[in-house]
Structure 1
């Protein structure tokens, strides 16, 4: 019989992986800032047309901008934390599902144990 098991994927922090993560965080931060600017521009454009109820429209746009500003703050925090981490640290990247074969007579506790995949510079270094 096959069952699904959650497997944790961790990344070992190296110079290359650290730089890639910093680039990703910075790119996402810049994208959210661009989206805020675009929302601000669209709000001003729609306010000039007077086709919509401005209070509800403004609240909606402000809510959207606030969500993006929170994401910018999150990415700034992640960048700060990444700068403080020493090389060789293990970062949880994601969780994936794996198929596990179980048979009558197997030790149940062995299958319940958490499996972890360790990645170093994009290559699987270890399976625990």
Structure 2
């Protein structure tokens, strides 16, 4: 019989991975800032077309802009934490599903114990 089990993915922090994450976070911040500017432009455009619904339009756009600004704050926080993170430490990258063969007589504790895949610079270095 086969079962599906969650396996943790962990990444070893290296100078290269820190640089890649820094670049990724900065790019996401840049894109979110662009979206905020685009939303402001669209808001002004819509307000000029329909002057009687300015309050509704402003409320909707403020909510969307606020969501993006919250995401920007989150990525800036992640950038700060990235700088603090020492090289060689482990960072959680999420989980994947693994298919495990289960047969009579197997030790259930071994099957259910936490498993993980360790990645360093894009290469799997250890499976536990």
TM over 0.5: yes
> Is contact 1:46-1:52 (8 Å) kept?
no
| Residue 23 (structure 2) aligns with | 23
* Structure 2 Cα separation of the partners of residues 51 and 110 of structure 1: 67
| Residue 76 (structure 1) aligns with | 76
| Residue 126 (structure 2) aligns with | 126
| Residue 58 (structure 1) aligns with | 58
* Structure 2 Cα separation of the partners of residues 48 and 115 of structure 1: 58
Post-superposition CA distance 1:42-94 (Å, at most 9, x none) = 00111111166222221111110000000000000000000001100100011
Post-superposition CA distance 1:83-126 (Å, at most 9, x none) = 00110010001111110110111111111111100000000000
| Residue 107 (structure 2) aligns with | 107
* Structure 2 Cα separation of the partners of residues 120 and 52 of structure 1: 57
Unaligned 5+ segments in structure 1 are: none
- Report the count of equivalent residues: 128
> Is contact 1:6-1:95 (8 Å) kept?
yes
**Paired residue secondary structure (1:53):** helix
Unaligned 5+ segments in structure 2 are: none
Which segments of structure 1 move beyond 4 Å, counting only runs of 4 or more?
none
State TM-score, norm by structure 1. 0.97
